[in-house]
């Protein structure tokens, strides 16, 4: 617009015609005040207009800041910028976070890890057909996962950032492979059931959250704080809810009753205990169990169940 006042509305004699059924024929007028700042006056409108959080009714008037005021008129949002106002800097084009070669290295490493996995699971001399579901299924799954995130990118960032999402997924899959090998092995090697339990209960959810976080930050880089807060809340709520449910139903925090991973003989570094120690270790179990049994019996009595 090159001249004041600027009139907004559905009638054809406005400076700016808004073709919107929720807009009045002469909805609002923008003028330049004596102080050099723009102001807005609402015309004969049923809906009025909204500036920031403030709603103006017909006939009301309000001064506007020099730059950045957003006017909601009917279903339209108009941002007001005066000729002299500073312009926001240019955004960089979305770049793949990992360059081509590195992506192929990640892919190769992951494929190697999966082949090793499958090799361990199959008996020696297994039919080649037994590799098929593995070799077809995993890449398909990965492609679908990355494709869905890329669609999200298309929606929010106007670019189908498949390779960026693939790099994120592959990097985290490799992290998972390493952690999933190291942590249970370490727990078994040193005889640390607590480490195994912590990893078994919370390791995978935590890794999952980190993967989703990376994908989301690729999608919505401006919303880092909100993403962190939302995921942390979900994770925390999950951990607390599982813990509480387990405590109520099982009388312990962890779902698994014992550590099932066994150390290889060469990696067994934990100490062995003499047999009588096992009997002694049962004493605290007895006390905890008797307490739980009393509580459960009392609960049954309260709920009217008189079964044994």
Partner 1 sequence: MRACAACRGAPAGHDAYTACVSAPLRPPARRCPPARAGWLAGLRTTLALALGTATLALPAAEPPTAGAPPAAPAASAAGAVSGTGQRIYAEMQPRLLQVRTLLKTQDSQSSVGSAFLVTPEGHLITNYHVVSSYALAPQRHRLVYATVDGQQGALQLLAFDVLHDLALLKPADPAPLRGRGAVPFRASDGPGSEPERGARIYSLGNPLDVGFAVTEGAYNGLAERHYLPTLFFGGSLSGGMSGGPALDAQGRLVGVNVAARRDGEQVSFLVPAALAQALLARGRNATPITQPVHAEIERQLLAHQAGLVDAFIQQPWRAASHPRYRIPVPMEAFSRCWGSGTNTATRGLVFERSDCTMDSAVFVDERLRTGTISVRHETYDGSNLGALRFQQRYNDSFHNEVVGRRDAHRVAAQCTERTVAAGGGLPLRAVVCLQAYKKLPQLFDLSVLTASLDSSHAGVQGRLDAQALSFDNAQRLARHYLEGFGWTTTPPSPQTRPKTAPAAAPKPASR
- Beta carbon nearer to partner 1, 219 or 259: 259
- Beta carbon nearer to partner 1, 92 or 276: 276
Q: What residues are paired with 31 via a beta bridge?
A: 39
Query: In the complex, which residues of this chain contact partner 1 (CB under 8 A)?
Result: 120-121, 123-126, 191, 193, 249-252, 257-266, 268, 270-279, 281-282, 284-286, 288-290, 292-294, 296-297, 300, 306-308
Q: What is the DSSP letter of 5?
A: -
Cα–Cα distance for residue pair 171/192, rounded to 1 Å: 28
Cα–Cα distance for residue pair 203/187, rounded to 1 Å: 13
Residues 6+ apart with CB under 8 A from 167: 96, 97, 98, 102, 103, 106
Min dist CB 293 to partner 1, Å, is 4
- Beta carbon nearer to partner 1, 25 or 263: 263
- Beta carbon nearer to partner 1, 95 or 290: 290
Min dist CB 307 to partner 1, Å, is 6
Min dist CB 285 to partner 1, Å, is 5
Residues 6+ apart with CB under 8 A from 301: none
- Beta carbon nearer to partner 1, 89 or 257: 257
Min dist CB 141 to partner 1, Å, is 22
Min dist CB 282 to partner 1, Å, is 6
For residue 145, give the 3-state DSSP assignment.
helix
- Beta carbon nearer to partner 1, 225 or 258: 258
Closest CA to 26 of 53, 45, 41, 52: 45
Contact 20, 74 (CB under 8 A): yes
Cα–Cα distance for residue pair 38/14, rounded to 1 Å: 18
Min dist CB 137 to partner 1, Å, is 19
């Amino acid at each position: 617009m090159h001249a004041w006042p600027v009139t907004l509305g559905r009638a054809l004699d406005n400076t700016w015609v808004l073709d919107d059924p929720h807009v009045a024929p002469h909805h609002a007028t923008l003028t330049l005040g004596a102080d050099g700042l723009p102001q807005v006056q609402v015309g004969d409108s049923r809906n009025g207009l909204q500036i920031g959080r403030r709603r103006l009714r017909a006939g009301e008037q309000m001064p506007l800041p020099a730059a950045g005021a957003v006017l909601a008129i009917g279903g339209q949002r108009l941002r007001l910028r005066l000729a002299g106002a500073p312009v926001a800097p240019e955004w960089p084009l979305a770049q793949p976070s990992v360059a081509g070669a590195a992506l192929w290295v990640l892919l190769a490493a992951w494929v190697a890890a999966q082949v090793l996995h499958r090799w361990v699971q199959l008996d020696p001399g297994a039919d080649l057909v037994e590799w098929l579901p593995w070799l077809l299924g995993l890449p398909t799954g990965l492609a679908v996962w990355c494709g869905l995130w890329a669609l999200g990118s298309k929606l929010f960032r106007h670019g189908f950032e498949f390779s960026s999402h693939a790099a994120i997924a592959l990097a985290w899959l490799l992290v998972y492979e390493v952690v999933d090998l190291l942590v249970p092995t370490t727990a078994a090697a040193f005889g640390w059931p607590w480490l195994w339990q912590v990893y078994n209960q919370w390791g995978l959810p935590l890794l999952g959250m980190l993967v989703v976080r990376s994908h989301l930050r690729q999608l919505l880089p401006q919303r880092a704080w909100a993403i962190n807060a939302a995921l942390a809340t979900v994770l925390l709520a999950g951990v607390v809810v599982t813990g509480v449910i387990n405590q109520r139903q099982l009388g312990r925090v962890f779902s698994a009753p014992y550590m099932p991973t066994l150390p290889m003989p060469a990696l067994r570094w934990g100490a062995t205990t003499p047999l009588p120690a096992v009997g002694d270790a049962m004493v605290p179990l007895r006390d905890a169990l008797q307490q739980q049994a009393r509580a459960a019996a009392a609960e049954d009595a309260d709920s009217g169940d008189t079964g044994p």
